[in-house]
Amino acid sequence: MSEAPAQALARLVGETLFAHDVASNDTMGMVLLACEPGRAVMRMVVKELHLNGHQICHGGFIFTLADSTFAFACNSHNKNAVAAGCSIDFLKPGKLGDVLTCEGIEQTLNGRHGIYDMKVTNQSGEVIAMFRGKSAQIPGTVIPE
Amino acid sequence: MSEAPAQALARLVGETLFAHDVASNDTMGMVLLACEPGRAVMRMVVKELHLNGHQICHGGFIFTLADSTFAFACNSHNKNAVAAGCSIDFLKPGKLGDVLTCEGIEQTLNGRHGIYDMKVTNQSGEVIAMFRGKSAQIPGTVIPE
Amino acid sequence: MSEAPAQALARLVGETLFAHDVASNDTMGMVLLACEPGRAVMRMVVKELHLNGHQICHGGFIFTLADSTFAFACNSHNKNAVAAGCSIDFLKPGKLGDVLTCEGIEQTLNGRHGIYDMKVTNQSGEVIAMFRGKSAQIPGTVIPE
Amino acid sequence: MSEAPAQALARLVGETLFAHDVASNDTMGMVLLACEPGRAVMRMVVKELHLNGHQICHGGFIFTLADSTFAFACNSHNKNAVAAGCSIDFLKPGKLGDVLTCEGIEQTLNGRHGIYDMKVTNQSGEVIAMFRGKSAQIPGTVIPE
């Protein structure tokens, strides 16, 4: 597919998936900033609902932000893809009011299997977490071809 | 510490942490079933709020269940501990109404660093996900010594 | 397959694979102590050839010991299986003359995909490293069925 | 430190470490192509000694190539650093005669802890494996300051 149609398709895939994603959208309060071929950007503001017993953002929700970004990036080619495994390293805590931005980039896509790297930063540009996800494509498309 | 006091302390630590954990408790709807020295068990029922764009439980929330269980297990000695890094493998999807149980067990605790394994199963005993977490103890205790 | 034939098959698979494994056998000097269904045990003595620039066992060779053990455990059912991904945590260094033993155990085998945990200990029983591997079965058998 | 001295120091650190690294040098046959601040490149040709029971390069030795590259990259600032944990994904097998090149790059260095990404490619530019390592600085320097 040439550049412009691939971009338009990725954007449509992103909007479609996000519209039905109660978890990312309603529950977590994420915003989808970009969905391009092999790349996505999402944002989430840390609110009271995200805080754990140490009164910092639950690491699971930082993971969830990265995992959603991963999902958009690896589905951006309009071939259904699921996460097979992920790893995350936590570098700094997320605090109440922090604006967390996650950028996800495709590192390799080899047949059905891809590797994607997500980086979560705060409003000061500090790296909060780094996440690597492995995807597996499954039959079907996100939107009808 | 002898067996019985260590058990009682772990339980108190668990109850204290959980009482202040908005994320696990209010937002995700988890229940803490056990907190013992180096071990914890938590449960979460998959509800509408957990569903992603594929209408299955968001992988990030399965991670969050495991990450919370990890936190209780690695704080159970009443020494503050945080997650340094985690990895997860997703084996089966969590579906609406599924009852997910996560058991977390300390594999090794070597100075300040520990390794913990979490296993998430559904109501049929099928393994949904396996999670490994590395913890680092930091100064301070969960409850005053 | 009933217990005894499965044990005998796993042992035969292990011996067959090991006989052709120049890397584990000749280059690294490993010994295969056990190959059972879903389990294997290997041993390696740290020699001069294993030392890195810090004069301790190269972490890559500790990984290699675990990776070989993983291979025997995940091929033990006589269905060809390969490593898809692995992670390792290094807990203590391996020193010249240390006798490193690695036990690998199948945690789950779900269709073609399995998860195996390897633990490397030294002659004092101290944990040197923990390794988790994900396997994928591919067509074919190790020895003719 | 300004650019040129940092480059010269990294190069000297690399040469010093490599000269004493029996494992990478003599046993595995690696070559150090570059050691710069936060970056290293190594090469290894797959020989008979690297082959496992499937007659392909032992995954442990692909890991070892990446782990050595990681070591040079994370010691390049002349502060002693060790690997705390690593993960690898195997994408394609390494075959007899393949020329494997590994490039390692520092992604983040936050206090004592760093994250480095290594990519192993073959002579056709195909990605063989991707490796992520977490380092921890320990007291001391590689060469006297």
pLDDT tens for residues D46-103? 999 999 988 999 999 999 999 999 999 999 999 999 999 999 999 999 999 999 999 9
How far apart CA C60 and CA B121 sit, in angstroms, is 33
Q: Which helix (H) or strand (E) holds C117?
A: strand C113-121
Nearest CB partner across the interface for D132, out of A92, A119, A132: A132
Q: Which residues contact C143 (CB under 8 A, 6 or more apart)?
A: C12, C13, C16, C78
Q: Which residues pair with C51 in a beta bridge?
A: C57
How far apart CA C72 and CA C63 sit, in angstroms, is 14
How far apart CA C75 and CA D51 sit, in angstroms, is 17
Statement: residue C74 has pLDDT above 70 = yes
Asked if A54 and A108 touch (Cβ cutoff 8 Å), the reply is: no
* Residue from C96, C93, C92, C94 nearest C48 by CA: C96
Nearest chain C residue to D27, by CA: C49
The confidence score (pLDDT) of residue C1 equals: 66
The confidence score (pLDDT) of residue D2 equals: 77
Mean pLDDT over the full length of chain A:
95
| Residue B110 vs residue D59, higher pLDDT | D59
Q: Which helix (H) or strand (E) holds A109?
A: strand A99-110
The confidence score (pLDDT) of residue B1 equals: 66
**Closest approach of chain C CAs to the CA of B110, in angstroms?**
8
Contact C27 D49 (CB under 8 A): yes
When pLDDT is averaged across residues C68-92 and rounded to a whole number, the result is 95
* Inter-CA distances, C137 with A8, B93, C82, C134, Å: 38, 21, 6, 10
Nearest CB partner across the interface for C110, out of B91, B107, B110: B91
When pLDDT is averaged across residues C41-65 and rounded to a whole number, the result is 97
Statement: residue C110 has pLDDT above 90 = no
The confidence score (pLDDT) of residue B110 equals: 87
**Closest approach of chain B CAs to the CA of D116, in angstroms?**
14
Question: Which band of pLDDT confidence, cut at 50, 70 and 90, is reported for residue C145?
Answer: confident
How far apart CA A103 and CA A88 sit, in angstroms, is 14
> What is residue C116's three-state secondary structure?
strand
Amino acid in position B98:
D
Statement: residue B87 has pLDDT above 90 = yes
pLDDT digits (tens, 9 = 90+) for A32-88: 999 999 999 999 999 999 999 889 999 999 999 999 999 999 999 999 999 999 999
Could you please state the CATH topology (level 3) that the domain comprising A3-137 is classified under.
Thiol Ester Dehydrase; Chain A (3.10.129)
Asked if C80 and D93 touch (Cβ cutoff 8 Å), the reply is: no
> Torsions phi, psi of A125, nearest 5?
85, 5
Statement: residue B2 has pLDDT above 80 = no
pLDDT digits (tens, 9 = 90+) for C8-38: 999 999 999 999 999 999 999 999 999 999 9
User: Per-domain residue ranges for chain B?
Assistant: 3-137
Contact A134 C85 (CB under 8 A): yes
The confidence score (pLDDT) of residue D25 equals: 96
Nearest chain A residue to B20, by CA: A53
Contact D87 A132 (CB under 8 A): yes
The confidence score (pLDDT) of residue A1 equals: 67
The neighbours of chain B, by the rule of 3 or more Cβ pairs under 8 Å, are: A, C, D
pLDDT digits (tens, 9 = 90+) for B16-47: 999 999 999 999 999 999 999 999 999 999 99
The confidence score (pLDDT) of residue B39 equals: 98
> Torsions phi, psi of C9, nearest 5?
-65, -45
Nearest CB partner across the interface for A115, out of D92, D115, D130: D130
Nearest CB partner across the interface for D115, out of A110, A130, A134: A130
Q: Which residues contact A80 (CB under 8 A, 6 or more apart)?
A: A137, A138, A139, A140, A141, A142
Statement: residue A26 has pLDDT above 90 = yes
The confidence score (pLDDT) of residue D145 equals: 83
Statement: residue C48 has pLDDT above 80 = yes
Q: Which two tokens stand for residue B14?
A: 């668990």
- CB atoms under 10 Å from CB of A139, counted, come to 6
DSSP secondary structure string for all residues of A3-62: HHHHHHHHHHHHHHHHHT-HIIIIIT--EEEEEETTEEEEEEE--GGGB-TTSSB-HHHH
The confidence score (pLDDT) of residue D114 equals: 96
Nearest CB partner across the interface for B134, out of C89, C113, C115: C89
When pLDDT is averaged across residues D2-27 and rounded to a whole number, the result is 94
Statement: residue B137 has pLDDT above 80 = yes
When pLDDT is averaged across residues B44-72 and rounded to a whole number, the result is 97
When pLDDT is averaged across residues C71-83 and rounded to a whole number, the result is 95
Statement: residue C2 has pLDDT above 90 = no
Residues of chain B with pLDDT > 90: what percent?
A: 92
How far apart CA B9 and CA B82 sit, in angstroms, is 19
Q: Which residues pair with B116 in a beta bridge?
A: B106, B133
Statement: residue C103 has pLDDT above 70 = yes
Which segments within chain B are labelled E, that is strand? 31-36, 39-45, 81-90, 99-110, 113-121, 127-137
Asked if D120 and D70 touch (Cβ cutoff 8 Å), the reply is: no
CB contacts < 8 A (A, B): 129
Chain A residues within 8 A (CB-CB) of chain C?
A: 85, 87, 134
The confidence score (pLDDT) of residue A110 equals: 87
Nearest chain A residue to B81, by CA: A54
Q: Which two tokens stand for residue D77?
A: 């600032």
Question: Which band of pLDDT confidence, cut at 50, 70 and 90, is reported for residue C97?
Answer: very high
- What's the half-sphere exposure (Cβ side, CA atoms, 13 Å) at A8? 5
CB contacts < 8 A (B, C): 29
Statement: residue C89 has pLDDT above 70 = yes
Question: Which band of pLDDT confidence, cut at 50, 70 and 90, is reported for residue D1?
Answer: low
